[in-house]
Amino acid sequence: MTRALRLGLIGVSSIARRRTVPAIRTVGSLAITACAARDLERAKEFAGKLDADAMTYDEILASPDIDAVYVSLPNGLHHEWARRALLAGKHVFCEKPLTTKAAHTDELIALAAERGLTLHENFMFVHHPQHARVRELVDGGRLGELRGFAASFGIPPLPPEDVRYRADLGGGALVDVGVYPLRSARLLLGDGLTVAGATLTIDTGRGVDVGGHVLLVSRSGVSASLEFGFRHSYRSRYRLWGSSAALSLDRAFTPPATRQPVLRIEEQDHVEEISLPPADQFAIAASRFADAALGTGDPALTAELNASTADTAHLVEAVLSKAIRIDESGGRL
């Protein structure tokens, strides 16, 4: 029997507590053995619930009894602690975005490869089988020739003290929710995407973007219209428009583990709905990380995941470079 990968938690973010850690605990090849947080008492409280040891970040990296780390710190701290973990010989499972700079993302991917370690960005939605089924339908010609792609991910305003409003910690809507439409375009349209235009809505008081719209063009000339933000009613969906039919998927990025996805295909005089089995994308992502780190996974999968991570990071920088900025009242900055 393959032993379990011993995992240390660096950070106890909301997403870690609510979704990722519960999913990790269902994966037999992963064992959470230590937990660290900025506040040691908070680490002790969470560790107690997991029957794990409370440690500092540095103690986790120094421990010979820990094989890998899960990093769920504010975005702006991901690069530092993922890099330190790789240098300490630990495999790294890091919340998205892996870093807030494309050069840092490229650096970490190269460092992991150089040291023979597994590095996965926890972009959990790409692991849900619903997207593989969508690709099968597109590749099989069910929609005809693909003409366009649209995706949106928006959430209501966050509490004022939320770390995602902190510019100094890598906050902003683009790197938090905007990367989902970007990554979905990469997933379904392939690499080589070009940013043709963009707008970003800026909260000038906080110095972060709170919404945006991006136009991409694929290698084959398919356009992608992407919307995202922190000041919207909830939306999580994408739509592919072909020459003979269109396909739409709701809750595309954040389906609960019990949700049965429905692919809706619309033609001129016909509507078809394809129901798919539920899946826990958090557990699948964690399991694939464990398999890769333990040497039982497919190396090609890790290579593709890292290529997509790097491509998305460079798309983010292209958006930041090209975007027209407007303030929340609608005026250009």
Q: Which residues of the chain form beta strands (DSSP E)?
A: 5-10, 30-36, 53-55, 68-71, 91-95, 119-122, 146-154, 194-203, 208-217, 223-229, 235-242, 246-250, 262-267, 270-275, 324-327
315: which residues sit within 8 A by CB, 6+ positions away?
182, 186, 193, 195, 216
Which residues on adjacent β-strands are paired with residue 149? 224, 240
Closest CA to 128 of 211, 187, 198: 187
For residue 156, say if its preceding peptide bond is cis, omega within 30 degrees of 0: no
User: Which tokens in the block code for residue 313?
Assistant: 């990071």
Phi, psi of 22 (to 5 degrees): -55, -35
Which residue's entry shows tokens 């595309």?
Answer: 252
Half-sphere exposure of 74 (CA within 13 A, CB side): 14
End-to-end CA distance of the chain: 60
**According to DSSP H, which parts of 116-256 are helical?**
129-139, 173, 179-189
Which residues are catalytically annotated? 96
Which residue's entry shows tokens 């464990």?
Answer: 290
C-alpha–C-alpha distance, residues 145 and 242, integer Å: 5
Which residues on adjacent β-strands are paired with residue 211? 201, 229
